[in-house]
Structure 1
Amino acid sequence: MTGIQKTLFVLIAVIAVIFGLTVHKVLNGRNQGDPAALVDAGIILLPQSRQLPALELTDQDGQAVAVNQLKGQWSLLFFGYTYCPDICPTTLAQLRELKGKLPAEALERLRVVMISVDPQRDSPQQLKQYLGYFDAGFQGLTGELADIQKLASAVSIPFIPADTSKPNYTVDHSGNLVILGPDGTQRGFIRAPLNNQKLATQLPVLVGSEG
């Protein structure tokens, strides 16, 4: 191999490496942080993002919201209800505390949305009043039970509908949170119980990983 051929070979190899790294970056997005640290904080990312079903719910102001159009920010979805005796007030209080630990830039990129698993009692007005006890910035969604069940199943947070004929009924549901990316797709979960100390470190890394 001549000197010119060796030089060309080296140049081609370098170009191939650069191209490969560029493709890898494009396909995998910007850095989302240390996977082990994310898992330790309870953040479980999906290997592939999931589209949300095309259905409409009603927010705390009585406005229709297409759930597959929750875009522009990262979203934490929590399936709960206003008459919940334990999981919901605890989780919402933790999320309020977590917001106080996050830097301003991360807060601007993040919203919290509670989706009612008890639409019979959770009117938009009821949701607004209840969420206001925790944080006026928290959003709520309610609607037809069948639509809420469809959404819950799509994001793998199923719940057991209550027997609404019983007085003071409760609803069995999960305390896990759903993570939506700014493109409106599901990116993963946050496991309950929440570890705010670790989440306060890892969430800014995650939500800062793409616009």
Structure 2
Amino acid sequence: MTRVQKTVFILVALIALVIGLTFSKVLNAPRQADPTQLLDAGIVLLPQSRTLPELQLTDQDGQPMRMDQLKDRWSLLFFGYTFCPDVCPTTLAQLRQIKGMLPEAMRGDLRMVLVSVDPNRDTPEQLKQYLGYFDAGFEGVTGDLADIQKLANAVSIPFIPGDTSKENYTVDHSGNLVIIGPDGTQRGFIRAPLNGQKLATQLPELMKPRG
């Protein structure tokens, strides 16, 4: 074999090695959720995650709940209230259905949290009783209106407080959900109205650990 042939042989071998390693890396790389399918399910991911404000609210058991406690699991935050006549009961019923459609191993990895936009009426006791109608595992938080508004604005889910001087007042709020990752940051939104079947398929893809 001539010197030129040896050089060509070595180059070809190196190229083959590089291609082989690249191909192996692609095959063994953790599979990412398909952004197109996520979007079709109403899941909109942020280009960069957002840090939640440092707040302390009160959960449905009357215990303090800090924002940094929303870690180690995925969470869906829904800003609503227990006296809501339509959107809230519909959304919570859909979330119960979606939870039931998830793989059993993943159900415990997804926290559902109702953030009250009506702290005037939504005491911890009221939240616990109301959420119990849908799923005993659902969580709720209430607190000072200013703190709730600060959180809502930080995650881009603003609401208009109700006129508490009126009897049976309502609160204008969004039906969108906020996606919080296991690192405690906002990863995106789920747009209303919810598509239960598609979300039950795509949420496990979103929640899969990435190597």
Interval containing the TM-score (normalised by the shorter chain): 0.7 to 0.9
Please, what TM-score do these two structures have when normalized by structure 1? Answer: 0.88
* 2:11 is the alignment partner of 1:6: yes
Equivalences for residues 187-206 of structure 1 within 5 A: 187-206=187-206
Map of 2:47 onto structure 1: 47
Deviates more, 1:79-88 or 1:200-209: 200-209
CA-CA distance at 1:209 after TM superposition: 3.5
**Whole-Å separation in 1 of the counterparts to 2:172 and 2:143:** 18
Q: Which runs of 4+ in 1 moved over 4 A?
A: 11-18
Residue in 2 that maps onto 1:166: 166
CA 55–200 in structure 1, closer or farther in 2 if over 3 Å, else same: same
Shift of 1:8: 8.6
Specify the SS of the correspondent of 2:114.
strand
For residue 121 of structure 1, what is the aligned residue in structure 2? Answer: 121
Residues 119, 142 of structure 1: 8 Å contact kept: yes
Q: TM-score, normalised by structure 2?
A: 0.88
Q: Give me the whole-angstrom Cα distance separating, in 2, the residues matched to 1:100 and 1:90.
A: 16
For the 8 Å contact 1:32–1:209, the answer to whether it is kept is: no
Instruction: Please name the residue that 2:153 is paired with.
Output: 153
Deviation at 1:207, TM superposition (A): 1.2
SS of residue in 1 equivalent to 2:48: strand
Map residues 44-193 of structure 1 onto 2, 5 A cutoff. Answer: 44-193=44-193
Shift of residue 97, structure 1, vs aligned partner:
1.1
Q: Matched residues in 1 for 2:111 and 2:103: separation? A: 14
Which has the higher mean CA deviation after the structures are superposed, 201-210 or 119-128?
A: 201-210
Give the Cα–Cα distance (whole angstroms) in 2 for the partners of residues 158 and 31 of structure 1.
34
Q: 1:154 to 1:97 in 2, by over 3 A?
A: same
Q: Please list the CA deviations of residues 91-126 of structure 1 after superposition, one character each: whole Å capped at 9, or x if unmatched.
A: 001111111111112202111000000001101111
Residue 64 and residue 210 in structure 1: after superposition, are their counterparts in 2 closer, same or farther (change >3 A)?
farther
Q: Is the 8 A contact 1:119 1:145 kept in 2?
A: yes
Question: What are the superposed Cα offsets for residues 149-189 of structure 1, whole Å, 9 maximum, x if unpaired?
Answer: 00001101000111111111100000000001111111111
Between the two proteins, the alignment pairs up a number of residues equal to 205
Which consecutive unaligned segments of at least 5 residues does structure 1 have? none
Change in 2 beyond 3 A, CA 1:15/1:101 = closer
Question: 1:17 Cα shift?
Answer: 5.2
| Alpha carbons 1:31, 1:209 under 8 Å: kept | no
Residues 165/35 of structure 1: CA separation in 2 closer, same or farther (3 Å cut): same
Q: Give 1:146 deviation, angstroms.
A: 0.5
Q: Is the 8 A contact 1:106 1:208 kept in 2?
A: no
Q: Which runs of 5+ in 2 are unaligned?
A: none
Write the deviation string for residues 68-93 of structure 1: whole angstroms up to 9, x where unpaired.
Answer: 33011100000000000010000001
- Give the drift of 1:9: 6.0
Structure 2 counterparts to residues 18-29 of structure 1, below 5 A: none
Tell me how large the CA RMSD over aligned residues is: 2.4
Comparing 5-14 with 118-127, which one deviates more in the overlay?
Answer: 5-14
